[in-house]
Amino acid sequence: MKKIITIGNRKGGVGKTTTAAAVASCLKADGERVLLVDLDSQCNLSSNVGADASRTSILNVLLDGVHAKDAIQPSCICDIIPGSLEFGKIEDALGKKTGREFRLIESLVPLKDDYDYCVLDTPPNLGIATTNALTASDDLIIPTIAESFALDGVAQLYDSIQEVRHYTNKTLRIAGILVTLYNGRAILSRNMYDELEKMASSMGTKVFKQTIRRSINVAEAQQSSKDLFDYAANSNAAQDYKAFVNEYLEG
């Protein structure tokens, strides 16, 4: 496996799930073997790509010892290990068990020869699911919107990143901050983009030059359980995500 990539942010509504699906789709289009993993109890990624969250899920893998290969389903984009609506119970189930931060990476090791990339969609919190994702990952991509409250989510996530680097994954790299739902004509967006660049510099990373414009096609594709690039290949969001993934890979 070349890389495990986490898509994460403390805040919700910033395009994590859309970004995870788009990154996976672009990598698959380049001929890569890609696995998606849905770590969010809302299961939006699973439902958006047509996976069945009522079957064997990532929760069964992490808590019940189910082999990861037995939880994989095909989807409209690529293979996926779906989430679980009961994923919230993982905090209590793992409690203070030794090594709980390593459950995910241990479950993915047997798949290392089956896939080139694994993309992890995380919940909008800093619980054990996010910690497991960061511990397992080579790269972190932080999607955010260019609004003032979003800066707090990035800052809070950075605190967790530092802890993970210290205790469980010294090589975790922040690949960059991706601005989503962007309106370049809005003065507030431009000002916040400048603030994000300052924050990124202090975190030892960057803001990706490519932004993702708002597009109704994203919601339409998700509602139809279709790949954005099949549903509306010429939409602003599809074109932006293609350019972003190219920028990420070149970086």
Say what the alpha-carbon torsion angle 113, 118, 123, 129 is, to the nearest 10 degrees.
30
What pLDDT, on the 0 to 100 scale, is given for residue 185? Answer: 67
What pLDDT, on the 0 to 100 scale, is given for residue 242? Answer: 97
CA distances from 134 to 44, 76, 92, 144, 217 (A): 20, 26, 20, 17, 30
What pLDDT, on the 0 to 100 scale, is given for residue 215? Answer: 84
What pLDDT, on the 0 to 100 scale, is given for residue 15? Answer: 92
Phi, psi of 207 (to 5 degrees): -95, 125
What pLDDT, on the 0 to 100 scale, is given for residue 21? Answer: 96
CATH C-level class of 3-244:
alpha beta
What pLDDT, on the 0 to 100 scale, is given for residue 87? Answer: 83
Residue labelled with tokens 């000002």:
191
The percent helix, strand, coil of the chain (3-state, each to 5) is 50, 15, 35
Residue labelled with tokens 């694994």:
118
Residue 225 region by backbone torsions, left for phi larger than 0, else alpha for psi between -120 and 50, else beta:
left
Structure tokens at 89: 């119970």
Residue labelled with tokens 């790269």:
139
Amino acid identity, residue 2? K
What pLDDT, on the 0 to 100 scale, is given for residue 134? Answer: 97
Structure tokens at 222: 């998700």
The Cα–Cα gap between 33 and 49 comes to: 17
What is the full per-residue pLDDT of the chain (251 aa) written as tens digits?
999 999 999 888 899 999 999 999 999 999 999 999 999 999 999 999 999 988 999 999 999 999 999 999 999 999 999 999 888 788 788 877 888 999 999 999 999 999 999 999 999 988 999 999 999 999 999 999 877 777 788 888 999 999 999 999 999 999 999 999 877 666 666 777 788 899 999 999 999 999 999 889 898 998 888 889 988 888 999 999 999 999 999 98
Structure tokens at 113: 């020869």
| Residue 223 β-bridge partners | none
What pLDDT, on the 0 to 100 scale, is given for residue 98? Answer: 84
The Cα–Cα gap between 143 and 140 comes to: 10
The Cα–Cα gap between 193 and 8 comes to: 18
Structure tokens at 241: 């995500």
What pLDDT, on the 0 to 100 scale, is given for residue 186? Answer: 67
Residue labelled with tokens 């991509």:
141
